[in-house]
Structure 1
Amino acid sequence: MSDMRGEVILRVVPRPADINSNGHIFGGWVLSQMDIAGGIVAGRIAKGAVATVAIESMKFISPILLGDLVSVYAHAERRGRTSVAIRIDVVATRGGGAETVDLTSGVFTFVALDENHRPRLLPDA
């Protein structure tokens, strides 16, 4: 774990079905992995249900290749009254662990939801 990246939330290996027409892993696949990881962290902070409300920034640094071990790191970057911004970094391990490659990063914002699926206040930190 890297202190700057936060906690490893997910580790996954893309499947052949996740390849796009360029032979790389489809960007939507990695976006969904990031959303899952961010939702886990946001849900812990909210102590309940959350919903993704924004992707403030997203940057693809390197392509994801078939056979990569993909690690998704996440941590809270800032808190509001009802929402939390989660910094998410995605890294690949290649060549049996010989190489680590930064893949993508972004900031996803999640809002805490009440039982009626409406925004609610985050609990105290």
Structure 2
Amino acid sequence: MQSFASEPSGTLTLQTITMPADTNPFGDIFGGWVMAQMDIAGAIHANEISHGRVATVAVGSMVFMRPVPVGAIISCYTSTLRIGNTSIRVKVEVWIKDFLTHQILQVTQGEYVYVAIDQQGHKRPVLQHTQKSD
């Protein structure tokens, strides 16, 4: 079972507001939409590390702790878990701020794995573009 924090950890990488168009049939924000925001945040984080293109290759287990209401501010915090030869493992936490209550609550967290790729879509070393030239 995943443990959840009392406050966000990592870097605030993505923040947006939830909209009615992103709801499920019951009026809550669709979980797939939340996962897409997490993937975007994780990719931004991995892009900054690899200084180039990355592709999502895996998503670790996730538990949704609570529904996300329409109008909540959703914030994705990211941190690096591991940098391999061609891959980057990123932890993504999702927190919401409810407009009505002003509470800040964790919704979920997950691990996303990205692979650094070149312009042809082939794997490349993560550190290839981070080395400084003289």
Normalising by structure 2, we get a TM-score of 0.86
Residue in 1 that maps onto 2:14: 10
Residue in 1 that maps onto 2:77: 73
Letter in 2 for 1:67: G
RMSD over aligned Cα atoms? 1.9
Normalising by structure 1, we get a TM-score of 0.91
The DSSP-based 3-state class of the residue aligned with 2:49 is helix
Give me the whole-angstrom Cα distance separating, in 2, the residues matched to 1:89 and 1:97.
Answer: 21
Q: Quick check: 48-57 or 3-12, which moved more?
A: 3-12
Letter in 2 for 1:35: D
Which structure has greater strand proportion? 1
4+ residue stretches of structure 1 with deviation over 6 A? none
Give me the whole-angstrom Cα distance separating, in 2, the residues matched to 1:98 and 1:21.
Answer: 25
**% identical aligned pairs:** 38
- The counterpart of 1:116, out of the listed 116, 120, 125, is 120
Residue in 2 that maps onto 1:87: 91
Asked whether 1:58 is paired with 2:66, we answer: no
- Unaligned regions of 5+ residues in structure 2, if any? 1-5
- Unaligned regions of 5+ residues in structure 1, if any? none
Q: Describe the shift of the 1:37–1:101 C-alpha distance in structure 2 as closer, same or farther (beyond 3 A).
A: same
Give me the whole-angstrom Cα distance separating, in 2, the residues matched to 1:59 and 1:83.
Answer: 24
